[in-house]
Chains A and B, each alone.
Chain A
Amino acid sequence: MRRIASFIACLVFLVLSGLSARAQDDEALRGAVAGFATAEGFQQIGAVIDALVVLGDPRATRVLAALGEGDLKVREADGGVFIVRGSAASVRLIDPVNGDTAGEAGGASLKKIRVNNRLRRTVRDAIGALTLTAADPAVRMRAAETLFANPDPDALEAVEAALERETNADVRRGMEVARAASLLLSDRSNAEKSEAVGAVAALGTREALGLLSQFRTGATGALELQAAAAMERIEGSLARWSIAQNFWYGLSLGSVLLLAAIGLAITFGVMGVINMAHGEMVMIGAYTTFAVQEVIRRSAPGLLDWSLPIALPLAFLAAALVGMLIERGVIRFLYGRPLETLLATWGVSLILQQAVRSIFGPSNREVSNPSWMSGAFELGQMMITWNRLYILLFAMAVFAVLLWAMNRTMLGLQMRAVTQNRRMASAMGIRAPWIDAMTFALGSGVAGIAGVALSQIDNVSPNLGQSYIIDSFLVVVFGGVGNLWGTLVGAMSLGVVNKLLEPYAGAVLGKILILVLIIFFIQKRPRGLFALRGRAVEA
């Protein structure tokens, strides 16, 4: 890699100094690219990459990028090398040299040029070096970032040359830290290195810390002291950030618990039905999402990013319908008999699991993340993944809507009336059995929409529900049966405590500690955090 980088350094230098403007022609590039067709094994492919990079032609970046992404393929009929776009049966061929479309072909007639991690790194570094002087500032920025992440003293001259010509302030800053990082590993003078330590330390990131610790092992005297002091400063600030980070993880875990439990807060909390099939309602929601995505993939691939909003109402309806059937078919005969209800709903849950296993198969189903839910962004030294953020917001929205439905709608009023005093409610003309069915359907439907969100972070398999049922009961009992606010506070505090414990106790012990804590808590306050008072308790 070093060898390539030094070649590039020379070449960039030559190009910049105008000695050899464009000695290469299409033929040289084409000849180098054609080498991929005959290369066997990673070593030979690596040699072809070297040959390509040595040309120093910026157009080689297109070929290299395609190679790194696995889009560079050989047509088996004639050994032509093409960049391939599109997948499945028919693909579009693109000429690797001039970027023109070169026709179409069947996917099976092309053989992919294989790369492994080592070659991917070579390609990445080569692209970084070749694009330091690209026209697009965003590309130059990426090149600088690549160099910073993989500092290379041989690339110093290239980055310094690029820095001289750089006009964009942001890119300049990026290049300066990349230069500083590379300088730390080079054999430049101590004064320059000391300056570089300062520049890297000013970033305050984990990557900077890694660089400094790497530098420190080889440094002596004043430089070592300077690096040590800088590292201590960064470690201090990172430790503070990591508390914030763990707190965020806790909230995010809490939101998942809240989603899983909130439907149960209605069926178990409000109605008092020990519903062991609750997890399976979540599973039905997740499988609805899968089914929606399958249909979209087949008939309208453009809508894939909208699959979740489309799946939400369908998942609600599907789970609510199944819930209503369970209530009408099984549970209504068992009101007031908790043990029988528990066993019956447990049976129902097994039936539902096996039904899903028979219909969709026992293996995991792929539910893809829409593009707006993939990746992460950085907040200070904290990393926040988009999917967790959306799930947190979604959980809050579901909670708010449910709270409103329970307290501000006619249905909610009747639900509360029936659960608090059934006979009085009947006397007032409320159809109690009907309200029971509706309440159970609502709880199940909410579990269904939870399934849509959980499909984004967990397996969509027949076992999905089982993994949440215990946690759900835990949250509802801890928060206080019959109280939505209790469920919210319970879920969030369990999440945060769990995540604050995890770094110290580990995931296994952390979970055990939580259970022990809850046992003690329930001993002290058998009715949970927010106990209902008054007549409702006796009802």
Chain B
Amino acid sequence: MKFPKRTISIAALAALAAATAMTPVSAQEEPIKVGILHSLSGTMAISETTLKDAMLMLIEEQNKKGGLLGRKLEPVVVDPASDWPLFAEKARELIEAEKVAAVFGAWTSVSRKSVLPVFEELNSILFYPVQYEGEESQRNVFYTGAAPNQQAIPAVDYLMEEEGVERWVLAGTDYVYPRTTNKILEAYLKSKGVAPEDIMINYTPFGHSDWQTIVSDVKTFGAAGKKTAVVSTINGDANVPFYKELANQGVKAEDIPVVAFSVGEEELAGLDTEPLVGHLAAWNYFMSAESEANAEFIDTWHAFIGDENRVTNDPMEAHYIGFNMWVKAVQAAGTTDADAVIEALPGTEAPNLTGGTSVMLANHHITKPVLVGEIQDDGQFETVWETGGLVPGDAWSDYLPESKPLKADWVDLKCGNFNTETNRCLGTAQVGN
């Protein structure tokens, strides 16, 4: 078909005019920018890329619902490339140059620690979605992942009560999260009457791939006539060779169960899970959770990513909760101004994907259910145990002498590390260790 040129240009003009007239005022307003600070290259890309996609999906869904405060949301994605100093630089870029209203991001504790001063200095908001070692509460950060009392301690309770475990191997990668978690667990186990010789602690370098010696040590340790379990804070890529070695050396979950705090659906994707059936993981969400919200979330995720085989995992749920809390807080405050939103966030409720409602606490942590799941042969987890209600996140562990008297409360005390013995706020010098 052929139109005279003029007809086309007139039609185009008309269409343009119509579009302009029909567009609501909101679209002409500046969109609200949301920063996404997850590594898309380097070692951590394996875990963090999915979170970037999850955030893009959440923002797209919110825009379909009409955006926020009548404005559209616009994601700003940067790539800190698994490089810790670069995290700080990129955070600065997001806040100063892009003027984002809030940032969702970081995975490893060291990347979080590296961006903390930036968020404090520029007074912005960070939502941190990963389970971590606790011992921190910062005014500008909202921790939507689990604190140790929402993951590690309930999991150990489960092993002690349900499996009758008396001997413990605490195996972890050598960095801040496993070291702190194991310190808390060791203190906790000893408080429960476990003898020091019944606890074996083992650290390995990042990306450790030769697990022969350690698995055989675990077997030896487990052959002492007492029920033994491994509590694993082994991180990232090191897990696949670890589980392969367990399977090959014939360590069965019925004999020596391994409960992991860093292994989720995403990590199992690279494994043949047949020999691992029965090993455990503790999280606040499993893809197999049966709730309407979860079914809808999974459907939306599959439609967004265009792949039916992609899995969902716990940090994605943390972003889901955190994002919805932020949306509600912005609506309540009527502005995206950081101070107003930080003020509005504590007490904000948002549904989680396991059928409950999480609430943001005064210490900037949230309430979550704790689930213990067993690995199934299809790479999913089957929930075998869960806490009766939601567990409030505790920033400062009660099992470490130095953090026992500390309390975080940003509503009344306006302090992240208030010492209840001396009635003094330690201030920023102590925040972030």
- Which residues of A sit under 8 angstroms from B205, Cβ to Cβ? 507-508, 511
- Which residues of A sit under 8 angstroms from B331, Cβ to Cβ? none
Q: How far is the CA of A482 from the CA of B68 in the complex (A)?
A: 65
Contact check: which of A117, A363, A467, A508 meets B174 at CB < 8 Å? A508
Contact between A211 and B225, CB atoms less than 8 A apart: yes
Most B CB atoms within 10 A — which of A42, A117, A369? Answer: A117
Contacting A at CB under 8 A, from B180-203, are: 202-203
Contact between B241 and A124, CB atoms less than 8 A apart: no
Beyond A463-B42, A507-B208, list 5 extra A-B contacts (CB 8 Å). A117-B253, A117-B374, A249-B212, A385-B212, A467-B237
Closest 10 CB pairs of A and B: A364-B270, A214-B225, A210-B223, A385-B248, A507-B204, A362-B49, A206-B223, A362-B45, A249-B212, A116-B384
Given known pairs A383-B216, A467-B237, A507-B214, the reply for A458 and B209 (CB within 8 Å) is yes
Contact between A463 and B374, CB atoms less than 8 A apart: no
Q: Mark B273-313, 1 if CB is under 8 A from A, else 0.
A: 00101100000000000000000000000000000000000
Q: How far is the CA of A117 from the CA of B40 in the complex (A)?
A: 38
A120 at the interface (CB under 8 A from B): yes
Q: How far is the CA of A177 from the CA of B250 in the complex (A)?
A: 21
Q: Mark B251-283, 1 if CB is under 8 A from A, else 0.
A: 001110100000000110111100101100000
Q: How far is the CA of A117 from the CA of B267 in the complex (A)?
A: 22
Q: Mark A106-150, 1 if CB is under 8 A from B, else 0.
A: 000000001011101100100000000000000000000000010
Query: Which residue in chain B gives the minimum CB-CB distance to A257?
Result: B210
Contact between A363 and B248, CB atoms less than 8 A apart: no
Contact check: which of B209, B212, B220 meets A467 at CB < 8 Å? B209
A347 at the interface (CB under 8 A from B): no
A44 at the interface (CB under 8 A from B): no
Q: How far is the CA of A362 from the CA of B207 in the complex (A)?
A: 16
Give the Cβ gap from A362 to chain B, nearest Cβ, in Å.
4
Query: Which residue in chain A gives the minimum CB-CB distance to B270?
Result: A364
Give the Cβ gap from A119 to chain B, nearest Cβ, in Å.
10
Give the Cβ gap from B175 to chain A, nearest Cβ, in Å.
10
- Which residues of A sit under 8 angstroms from B277, Cβ to Cβ? 70
Contact check: which of A124, A211, A354, A364 meets B269 at CB < 8 Å? A364
Contact between A116 and B374, CB atoms less than 8 A apart: yes
Q: How far is the CA of A365 from the CA of B275 in the complex (A)?
A: 17
- Which residues of B sit under 8 angstroms from A363, Cβ to Cβ? 46, 49-50, 266, 269-270
Contact between A457 and B209, CB atoms less than 8 A apart: yes
Contact between A374 and B248, CB atoms less than 8 A apart: yes
- Which residues of A sit under 8 angstroms from B45, Cβ to Cβ? 357, 362, 462
Interface size class of A (residues with CB under 8 A): 35 or more
Q: How far is the CA of A459 from the CA of B245 in the complex (A)?
A: 12
- Which residues of B sit under 8 angstroms from A506, Cβ to Cβ? 202-203
Query: Which residue in chain A gives the minimum CB-CB distance to B372?
Result: A116
B357 at the interface (CB under 8 A from A): no
Give the Cβ gap from A144 to chain B, nearest Cβ, in Å.
17
Q: Which residues of A contact B (CB under 8 A)?
A: 42, 70, 114, 116-118, 120-121, 124, 149, 206-207, 209-211, 213-214, 217, 245-246, 249, 252-253, 256, 350, 353-354, 357, 361-366, 368-369, 374-376, 383, 385-388, 457-463, 466-467, 499, 502-503, 506-508, 511
- Which residues of A sit under 8 angstroms from B213, Cβ to Cβ? 246, 249, 499, 502-503, 507
Interface size class of B (residues with CB under 8 A): 35 or more
Most B CB atoms within 10 A — which of A252, A366, A499? Answer: A366
Q: How far is the CA of A16 from the CA of B374 in the complex (A)?
A: 39
Contact between B254 and A120, CB atoms less than 8 A apart: yes
Most B CB atoms within 10 A — which of A116, A249, A353? Answer: A116
B224 at the interface (CB under 8 A from A): yes
- Which residues of B sit under 8 angstroms from A376, Cβ to Cβ? 248-250
Contact between A362 and B46, CB atoms less than 8 A apart: yes
Contact between A507 and B203, CB atoms less than 8 A apart: yes
Give the Cβ gap from B383 to chain A, nearest Cβ, in Å.
9
Contact between A209 and B223, CB atoms less than 8 A apart: yes
Q: Mark B216-258, 1 if CB is under 8 A from A, else 0.
A: 1101100111100000000001001100110111100111010
- Which residues of A sit under 8 angstroms from B210, Cβ to Cβ? 249, 252-253, 256
Contact between A463 and B257, CB atoms less than 8 A apart: no
Contact check: which of B203, B278, B377 meets A117 at CB < 8 Å? B278
B419 at the interface (CB under 8 A from A): no
Contact between A388 and B269, CB atoms less than 8 A apart: no
Contact between A458 and B250, CB atoms less than 8 A apart: no
Query: Which residue in chain A gives the minimum CB-CB distance to B203?
Result: A508
Contact between B272 and A366, CB atoms less than 8 A apart: yes
Q: How far is the CA of A42 from the CA of B49 in the complex (A)?
A: 37
Contact between B272 and A369, CB atoms less than 8 A apart: yes
Chain A to chain B contacts (Cβ below 8 Å), 19 pairs: A116-B278, A116-B382, A117-B253, A117-B257, A118-B163, A120-B253, A206-B220, A206-B223, A214-B225, A249-B210, A363-B46, A363-B50, A374-B248, A376-B250, A458-B240, A462-B45, A499-B212, A506-B202, A507-B214
Contact between A210 and B46, CB atoms less than 8 A apart: no
Query: Which residue in chain A gives the minimum CB-CB distance to B82?
Result: A463
Contacting A at CB under 8 A, from B70-101, are: none
Contact between B219 and A206, CB atoms less than 8 A apart: yes
Contact between A357 and B41, CB atoms less than 8 A apart: yes
Give the Cβ gap from B206 to chain A, nearest Cβ, in Å.
9
- Which residues of B sit under 8 angstroms from A361, Cβ to Cβ? 49
Query: Which residue in chain A gives the minimum CB-CB distance to B239?
Result: A459
- Which residues of A sit under 8 angstroms from B41, Cβ to Cβ? 350, 353-354, 357
Q: Mark B351-387, 1 if CB is under 8 A from A, else 0.
A: 0000000000000000000000010110000101000
